[in-house]
Amino acid sequence: MQSAPTPNPPNPEFPGIATVSPLAAALSCACPRCGQGRLYSGMLTVAGTCTVCGLALHRHDSGDGPAVFVILVLGGIVVGLALWLEARLAPPVWLHAVLWPPIILGGAIAMLRLLKALLIALQFRHRAHDYEDGADQGPHHV
């Protein structure tokens, strides 16, 4: 019987730094290669390079993926809660207008940070060549 591969094999380029799992990197908003550098330089701005291992983070290509998940999941949750609140308590309209915008804004930013980090980590795990030197000129980026 063949043994299963280890979930976090050592990184050949950085032997002293284990490759982190995509979920762990996403939850900590850390670099997908070393798991130590910060992924974001701003609230939702991805850093140019990792300050610890030098990974070219600017080569990520998460696209609109995180936004789609946030719209579908957070939109469904908020609409469900708003309908439940209206059916249960029938509050005045101004309460809806005051209650939901901060929940939507805060939830969207929190979910976008997490999902963007997860998609970047998954891209690094499955398409690491996108982060290599010269990847910007590759035929799949035309």
Contact 55, 49 (CB under 8 A): yes
Which of residues 29 and 103 has its CB atom nearest to Zn ion in the complex?
29
Which of residues 33 and 116 has its CB atom nearest to Zn ion in the complex?
33
C-alpha separations of 29 from 47, 116, 122 in Å:
11, 9, 13
* Gap between the Cα atoms of 64 and 67, Å rounded: 5
Q: Does 108 contact Zn ion by CB under 5 A?
A: no
Q: Please, which of residues 78-107 interact with Zn ion by CB under 5 A? A: none
Q: Does 31 contact Zn ion by CB under 5 A?
A: yes
According to CB under 5 A, which one of 47, 52, 74, 114 is a site residue for Zn ion? 52
N-term to C-term CA, the chain: 44
Which of residues 60 and 111 has its CB atom nearest to Zn ion in the complex?
60
Q: Does 66 contact Zn ion by CB under 5 A?
A: no
Question: Whats the size of the chain, residue-wise?
Answer: 142
Output the CA torsion sign for 127, 117, 68, 72.
positive
Q: Does 121 contact Zn ion by CB under 5 A?
A: no
According to CB under 5 A, which one of 37, 59, 116, 118 is a site residue for Zn ion? 37
Q: Which residues bind Zn ion (CB under 5 A)?
A: 31, 33-34, 37, 50, 52-53, 55
